[in-house]
Structure 1
Amino acid sequence: MMSRQDGLSITEIQSIQQSIEDIVTTPIGTRVMRREYGSIFPDLIDQPMSEVLIVKMYSAIYTPVSRWEDRISIESLKISKVTSGLMQLDLEAVHMITGQPLNLNIPLNMGASA
């Protein structure tokens, strides 16, 4: 497995984290050969914060990650550290092959990169 940042080898857990970040931050319809891949999460980030929006955000993460990342089973998720364009997804899951519990902290950079 290879890091999409620098091309170096990464562990299985790092690959899962990288995959989840990609799934959540990719708008649906933007992948040419996989139009259904991605999440509506990017469409939600500019909306006013409300309880309804928070539920939509969790659904926009849980549903596509469950569909596209079959190496894990999600136990719980939480969005934290919401600052200008950067959120952190705290996800507890179980690795489907090993049964190992995972506690993943995944940065979601939703703004334009410098």
Structure 2
Amino acid sequence: MTGLNRQTGRGLDPNSDEHLIQSIGDILTTPLNLRVGRRGYGSELPDLIDQPLNARTRIRIFAATAMALLNNEPRVRLRRVQLQIDAAHSPRLLLDILRTDRPRRTPTTLSVSLRPA
């Protein structure tokens, strides 16, 4: 089965990094329990976007990220999550995720915006 690029509509190889990055972004930005057929799909991150950015919220963001990827993306083993504020744009949080692809076992970093650009 071929995936689709959400921006262009062109096909994506399901084993490509581009497909994986798109999948992770979709999981993290979809509110939990939004999809009727897949109630466990998504994350709690959309509910945390407008919360005060204090220590408690940061921990909740890390936990929500870890749980969402653990439950919904078997191709990735999460190794580290870092949070940064993107000052170049309007208030927008970026997650820097150090991931290890299970087939390749190579650590790579991925940045995911928690608010659409």
TM-score range, shorter chain: 0.7 to 0.9
Deviation at residue 14 of structure 1 after TM alignment = 1.2
Is residue 38 of structure 1 aligned with residue 42 of structure 2? yes
Cα distance in structure 2, aligned partners of 1:69 and 1:85? 27
Q: Which of 66, 90, 94 pairs up with 2:100?
A: 94
Q: Matched residues in 1 for 2:12 and 2:95: separation?
A: 20
CA contact (8 A) 2:96 2:112 kept: yes
Q: How large is the Cα RMSD of the aligned pairs? A: 1.8
Q: In structure 1, the residue corresponding to 2:5 is in which secondary structure?
A: coil
| 78-87 or 66-75: bigger deviation | 78-87
Q: Secondary structure at the match of 1:80?
A: strand
**Higher RCO structure, 1 or 2 (CA under 8 Å, sep 6+):** 1
Q: Which residue of 1 aligns with 2:29?
A: 25
| Structure 2 SS opposite 1:109 | coil
Q: Distance in 2 between matches of 1:18 and 1:79?
A: 19
Q: Distance in 1 between matches of 2:115 and 2:8?
A: 17
State how 1:39-58 maps to structure 2 within 5 Å.
Answer: 39-58=43-62
What do residues 43-93 of structure 1 show as CA deviations (whole Å, max 9, x unaligned)? 111111210110001111111111111111111111223453532221111
Q: For 1:94-113, what aligned pairs fall within 5 Å after superposition? A: 94-110=100-116
Identity %: 31
Q: Tell me the TM-score normalised to structure 2 length.
A: 0.83
Tell me the TM-score normalised to structure 1 length.
0.85
Q: Post-superposition shift, 1:20? A: 0.9
CA distance in 2, matches of 1:21, 1:76: 16
Unaligned runs of 5+ in 2: none
Runs of 4+ in structure 1 deviating by more than 4 angstroms, as ranges, are: none
2:81 aligned to which of 74, 77, 81: 77
Gaps of 5+ in 1: none
